[in-house]
Structure 1
Amino acid sequence: MSQQIYLQPIGLCDSPQSEEGDAVRLAGGLVYAHRFAAIVRQGGQVTQRLRFSPAEAADTFAALPADLGAEAEAQWSNLRMAHPPLQMGGRTIRLDQPQVAGILNVTPDSFSDGGKFLDRPEDGAAHAAQMLEAGAAMVDIGGESTRPGAPAVWEGDELERVRPAVEYCAQMGAAISVDTRRAAVMEAALDNGAHMINDVSALRHDPRSMELVAARGCPVVLMHAPGEGEDLHADGDYAAVAFDVFDWLRERRDAALAAGVARANIVLDPGIGFGKSLAENLFLINALPLFHALGQPIMLGVSRKRMIGALSNEVAAQQRQGGSVALAVKGMDAGVQIVRVHDVFETVQARNVWRGLRDAALTDFSALPGD
């Protein structure tokens, strides 16, 4: 049974000078790490855990077996990789700071805003414009609810919901992502002005989708969901949720690369809330820095999700803004590049304050005179 290794940042810091330069910049963003763990797993069990600093990395990897050492070197390079911006039509979405994707659901049954914008294009357009004015880098349009227990949607119905929203967002000049797992919807959306595909099945649901995304050369979000077929929430059985999701996303990344999807176009999403318990969701969010070792930008979707209600006396989805912003900031602290949210104004404001704190931390006011 083969061994696997994972490089997990376990000590984050505000700036490299706070660790006298012995820190690395995670994924080209505004988060720095100075302590790491090299975790070896075999048969689902952790067999070794080595802690090291950047200055100790080379010696740590050299002491590993050759195959693990090579994989550790690859992940070490990935952790320090600065990602190129996403090209979305005329828009360039830089990934050197967190970006906010605003959610536009054109569904009758989404858990938070179902029915609010379905068959009401004027309201949907006004909401999209409001999100863009508030600072959303892109609008993510969804025509099918993926909440637990939601019925599957016929692709013709999904297409009729999504197309008008894509068209009015395109008229605004927005960067547009479409949340769909059906190739026909992907194709029509791209033809009508969308720029990115956000697939909750990671291009598994529709056999045509992988080839389509590769041929169109568009960015794509590959999200973890354990279920096959219609129920993406099924079969959530994990030996260690963070490492199992890491392995799964690595397999989907490699499948996309093998199919011809450009590496610069692949974004990964750990799929918070999809086939995971409250404890597993919390564990994943605390382990988010680990996923930079996959070498791809990360999208985090936690807005108004059930886990917030579970921690807040089961408040309704519309009363989960505070928890949503708290989790978004937690993602920013972990170096996540894109947060997908309902409450754009509040999240952008939090991001801007977070960015100010990060910028200020790079000025070392504690330096001694003459240093």
Structure 2
Amino acid sequence: MMTQVYIRPIGIAASPQAEAGDAVRLAGGMVYAHRFAILLRQDGEVTLRERVSPEHMAQALGRLPDSVAAEAEAQWTCLRFAHPPLQLGERTVRLDQPQVMGILNVTPDSFSDGGAFLDNPEAGRAHAAAMLESGAALVDIGGESTRPGAAATWEGDELERVLPAVEYCAAMGAAISVDTRRPAVMEAALAKGAHIINDVSALRHDPRSMALAAAQQCPVVLMHSPGKSDDLHADADYDNVVFDVFEWLKNARNHALDAGVQRENILLDPGIGFGKTLAENLALVNALPLFHALGQPIMLGASRKRMIGALSNEADAAHRLGGSIAFAVAGMDAGVQLLRVHDVAETVQARNVWRGLRDAALTDFSDIPAD
């Protein structure tokens, strides 16, 4: 009988003084957690759920079975781990606050921009510049649509789309990630000035990708997607989507470590919208604080996705700004480090207001009773 353990933050505090210091800084960011659920799962069923504050965590961990003790200790350490900044060329991206990654799609069939930047480098360059001027920390360039039902892109076409965009973004001094699952595109984009590999297949699509990532020693984003072939949305079958995605990402991280990717170069993405129902996507967003227990920075990509339309009278992609901001704020409240978005200026403004509230809470003692 297999037993698994999870330490899930379930209580968020505006500041540590609000809980008389009995709170921890979640993943070294601007969110403080003061209540945690320790969960044991045996053969898919939750058999124990204990609510614990940081003050009593050591005693609670000491009561766990020996078979999960080391894993529980590792998760508790990871939840409090402050991630170092990403050094991307001349740019430093700090991970002690939410950062915004702007999307630049150079595809003919993107669900969000309808190919506006394909074969139009001036428009793409202007869009990238506008995102950077609005406060994007990174630009994420993609040459293949991965929406449900999209046809696979030939590698040569993807290279022709992506490389010019990488070149003009690099000329601006941008920090660049390349959204691809093909090693030839990864290698060529890195050679042209990209800094991060963002792979929706978690380096599974081509066996050469993992070796390339290890050899390049660049940051990589490993995203959860259930599909094993060209259809990344296929083969979805979850007993519990939160725990199943957590275990999947843990295995993807460990596989990358075994292949020689350095731990500080691994970021994780729960894959919102990839092979998941509306209810499953919402469950994952609500459970985002749990994923800090994996010890890696977390990226959230929920911008303009279909679930927003499903909750908003089937609003099309061009009319999903409000829902995109709502999910971005949910990610910030969960301590997510990277927000991958289409609407950079609006998201940066929301982030700045959110950050102002967090900063103010740290210095506001007016309504906190003394012990």
The whole-number CA distance in structure 1 between the counterparts of 2:279 and 2:166 is: 36
Q: Given the alignment of the two structures, is residue 281 of structure 1 paired with residue 267 of structure 2, yes or no?
A: no
Partner of 1:145: 145
Partner of 2:73: 73
Amino acid paired to 2:296: Q
The whole-number CA distance in structure 2 between the counterparts of 1:55 and 1:220 is: 35
Structure 1 position 115, deviation (Å): 1.1
Amino acid paired to 2:306: R
Q: Given the alignment of the two structures, is residue 158 of structure 1 paired with residue 158 of structure 2, yes or no?
A: yes
Once the two structures are superposed, the pairs formed by residues 302-341 of structure 1 within 5 Å of their partners are 302-341=302-341
Q: Please give the per-residue CA displacement for 1:270-295, whole angstroms capped at 9, x wherever unaligned.
A: 00000000000001000000000000
Amino acid paired to 1:86: L
The percentage of counterpart residues that share the same residue type is 75
The whole-number CA distance in structure 2 between the counterparts of 1:90 and 1:370 is: 46
Structure 1 position 368, deviation (Å): 7.6
Partner of 1:16: 16
The whole-number CA distance in structure 2 between the counterparts of 1:307 and 1:296 is: 26
Structure 2 vs 1, CA of residues 8 and 144 (structure 1 numbering), >3 Å: closer, same or farther? same
Structure 1 position 364, deviation (Å): 2.9
Partner of 1:219: 219
Structure 1 position 67, deviation (Å): 2.4
| More off after superposition, 305-314 vs 357-366 | 357-366
SS at match of 2:181: coil
| More off after superposition, 340-349 vs 106-115 | 106-115
Structure 1 position 366, deviation (Å): 2.2
Give TM-score scaled by structure 2 length: 0.99
SS at match of 2:207: coil
Amino acid paired to 2:7: L
Retained in 2: the 8 A contact 1:3–1:41? yes
**Stretches of 4+ moved more than 2 A in 1?**
364-371
Q: Please give the per-residue CA displacement for 1:152-187, whole angstroms capped at 9, x wherever unaligned.
A: 001111011000000000000000000000000000
Once the two structures are superposed, the pairs formed by residues 1-371 of structure 1 within 5 Å of their partners are 1-366=1-366
SS at match of 1:49: strand
The whole-number CA distance in structure 2 between the counterparts of 1:82 and 1:6 is: 20
SS at match of 2:47: strand
The whole-number CA distance in structure 1 between the counterparts of 2:187 and 2:2 is: 40
Structure 2 vs 1, CA of residues 369 and 123 (structure 1 numbering), >3 Å: closer, same or farther? closer
SS at match of 2:33: strand
Retained in 1: the 8 A contact 2:18–2:368? no
The whole-number CA distance in structure 2 between the counterparts of 1:52 and 1:322 is: 35
Retained in 1: the 8 A contact 2:328–2:347? yes
The whole-number CA distance in structure 1 between the counterparts of 2:348 and 2:137 is: 10
Q: Please give the per-residue CA displacement for 1:106-164, whole angstroms capped at 9, x wherever unaligned.
A: 00001111310000000000000000000000000000000000000011110110000
Unaligned segments of structure 1, at least 5 residues = none
Structure 2 vs 1, CA of residues 363 and 185 (structure 1 numbering), >3 Å: closer, same or farther? same
The whole-number CA distance in structure 2 between the counterparts of 1:369 and 1:199 is: 48
The whole-number CA distance in structure 1 between the counterparts of 2:141 and 2:270 is: 19
Structure 1 position 52, deviation (Å): 0.5
Structure 2 vs 1, CA of residues 69 and 147 (structure 1 numbering), >3 Å: closer, same or farther? same
